[in-house]
């Protein structure tokens, strides 16, 4: 769940690729975004006018300008060396998305188990330059 403002929040249906915007005053879903096919979606975060969704395999989905009638969805393979990513949040102070890995990193991966800056592939780098957001991940 991600807070949008004092009266609404976004939540994700974790198997169908749907984001719901829920209005607390109206006590109902006021908007739905079908952004992808069935999957195992684990985290959601909002940064300005963009919604980010994390799939458990580490793929990050971006719904840019979600408030407009037409919205664009981008997906990015993060290359996180873990198969069970469970959490996504925005670190406003450092302007970055944080990804929490539930499982250990894959054996032989170039990343250490401690928190490291993610070595982002060129596709992610372009998205980060556009949004100004960087990524980090943690393994437990």
Q: What is the pLDDT of residue 26?
A: 96
Residue-range domains of the chain with CATH: 2-139 (2.40.10.480)
The mean of the pLDDT values for the chain is: 76
- Could you read off the pLDDT of 36-80 as tens digits, one per residue? 888 899 999 999 889 999 998 889 999 988 888 888 889 888 877
Quote the pLDDT of residue 25: 95
C-alpha to C-alpha distance for 131 and 34, rounded to whole angstroms: 22
Element (H, E) at 122: helix 122-131
Question: What is the structure's pLDDT at 28?
Answer: 96
In this prediction, residues 122-140 reach a mean pLDDT of 46
Q: Is the pLDDT of residue 131 over 80?
A: no
Quickly state the pLDDT bin for 20 (edges 50, 70, 90): very high
Q: Using CA atoms, how far apart are residues 55 and 72, in angstroms rounded to an integer? A: 18
Angstrom distance (rounded) from CA 80 to CA 61 = 14
Question: In whole angstroms, how far apart are CA 28 and each of 8, 23, 58, 135?
Answer: 10, 6, 30, 33
- What is the DSSP secondary structure assignment for residue 94, as one 8-state letter? T
Residue 121 has what pLDDT? 37
35 CB-side CA count, 13 A: 32
> Best-predicted range by mean pLDDT among 7-11, 118-122, 127-131?
7-11
- Determine contact, residues 116/102, Cβ cutoff 8 Å: no
Q: Which residue has the higher pLDDT, 112 or 89?
A: 89
3-state SS of 42-69?
EEEEEECCEEEEEECCCEEEEEECCCCC
| Residue-level pLDDT at 107 | 54
- CA nearest 87: which of 99, 105, 71, 104? 99
């Amino acid at each position: 769940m991600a807070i949008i403002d004092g009266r609404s929040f976004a939540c994700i249906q974790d198997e169908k690729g749907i984001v719901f915007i829920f209005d607390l005053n109206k006590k109902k879903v006021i908007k739905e975004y079908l952004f992808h096919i069935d999957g195992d979606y684990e985290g959601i975060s909002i940064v300005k006018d963009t919604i980010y969704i994390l799939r458990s395999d580490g793929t990050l989905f971006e719904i840019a300008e979600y408030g407009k009638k037409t919205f664009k969805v981008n997906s990015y393979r993060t290359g996180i060396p873990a198969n069970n990513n469970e959490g996504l949040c925005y670190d406003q102070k450092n302007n970055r998305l944080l990804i929490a890995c539930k499982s250990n990193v894959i054996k032989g991966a170039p990343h250490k188990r401690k928190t490291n800056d993610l070595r982002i592939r060129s596709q992610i780098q372009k998205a980060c330059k556009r949004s100004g957001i960087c990524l980090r991940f943690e393994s437990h």
